[in-house]
Structures are given as C-alpha cells and as structure tokens.
C-alpha cells in the first residue's frame, strides 16, 4: 500500500476566492508548487480532495472544475511538481437537482479520501490530510489519516476550533517541510 498526502484545494493550494472556477482568477498560495514538488520527491502520492459546491449552486459546471484542474496541473509542471489524482465533490444540501442529494463525499465526510484509498491502494493510517478548514481536519480523522491545518485561507480563523493534537502551520510549504523533516511524513 502507498502513502499519500491529501490536499484541500481552495485556501491550501490556491488563494481563497469565493467559488473559484475561472483560470484568470487562479493564484497559488506562495510556496505551494514547491511544497507539492517536495511531496513528489519524497515519494508520496499527492491527491487533491476539494468540495466544489458552486456546481450544486449553479455557479459553474463540472467541466469548469476539470478545466481549472488541468490548468493547475500545467502550472505545477512548470515547477517540476504534479498532483497524482484529483477528487471533487459537486454536491451541497442547498444545491439544485441531483447535486442536492445526500452524498458521502462532501467534507467533513471522508468519502473522497476513502474512494482515493480504494482506487489508488493508499494506506490511510500512514497518510495525512492538509487543509485550511475544520471540515478538512474532520474528514482526515474520519478516514483515519493524520490531520494538519494550514493558516492560509480560512485556517487562521478555524484554528481555535481544532480538536487537541492537530498540528497547524503557516501555509502548505511550512506543513510539508515539517512532515518531511520529521522523516516520518505522515
């Protein structure tokens, strides 16, 4: 089985912008490409797991999400970095049509992590989840991963609500350097 680091997208990899879906609005959190490259070099799978309720709300389409993910992947390639797999949840209780149905993938539920583990042969017990929201931390705990909060995005405000024992770092690069330096990435 493989070890992985699951990454939230908005506020963790890219600057938080409400319902980001347009390429021209995309900006990396400083150091994010380097952080992802360090994970790649450490031999860890990098899996993005992101809630995209803008699809359910009718703000943009699943095609828009996939176009943006391809753009991010191309941008990461210029830094020698890559994401091994992308998972997103297009559902929301206040959504429209089939997107408003109950799902098991919307964080804080662990569905995306569990699906990734099954598809990619990931050992969740030796893996970690890095994100900027309590929902990311709760999804990690529910999946049996190590939860890590970053203070970028919503993280600084969310930190006060963390359960005990959850590490918090300034941003993705600081979190990744810490876990790699410990020689026990997860």
> Of the listed 8, 84, 132, 136, which one is catalytic?
8
Active site residue 63: no
Give the residues across from 5 on adjacent strands.
Answer: 46, 128
Q: Which helix (H) or strand (E) holds 64?
A: helix 62-77
φ, ψ for residue 14 (rounded to 5)?
-115, 160
> Of the listed 10, 84, 132, 136, which one is catalytic?
10
- Collapse the DSSP code of 167 into the 3-class scheme (helix H, G, I; strand E, B; otherwise coil) and give the result: strand
Strand segments, DSSP code E, in 52-177 are 85-89, 128-131, 146-150, 167-169
Active site residue 10: yes
Measured CA to CA, the distance from residue 74 to residue 95 in angstroms comes to 30
- Residues designated as active site: 8, 10
């Amino acid at each position: 089985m493989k070890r992985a680091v699951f990454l939230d997208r908005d506020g963790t990899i890219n600057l938080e912008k409400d319902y980001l879906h347009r390429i021209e609005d995309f900006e990396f959190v400083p150091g994010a490409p380097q952080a992802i490259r360090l994970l790649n070099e450490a031999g860890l799978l990098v899996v993005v797991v992101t809630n995209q309720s803008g699809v359910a709300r009718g703000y943009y389409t699943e095609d828009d999400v996939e176009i943006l993910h391809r753009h991010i992947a191309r941008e990461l390639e210029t830094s020698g970095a890559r994401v091994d797999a992308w998972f997103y949840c297009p559902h929301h209780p206040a959504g429209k049509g089939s997107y408003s149905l109950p799902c098991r993938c919307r964080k804080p539920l662990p569905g995306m992590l569990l699906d990734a583990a099954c598809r990619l042969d990931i050992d969740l017990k030796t893996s970690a989840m890095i994100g900027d929201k309590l929902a990311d931390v709760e999804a990690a705990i529910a999946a049996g991963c190590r939860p890590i909060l970053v203070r970028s995005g919503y993280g600084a405000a969310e930190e006060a609500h963390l359960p005990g024992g959850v590490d918090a770092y300034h941003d993705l690069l600081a979190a990744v350097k810490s876990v790699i330096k410990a020689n026990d990435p997860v």
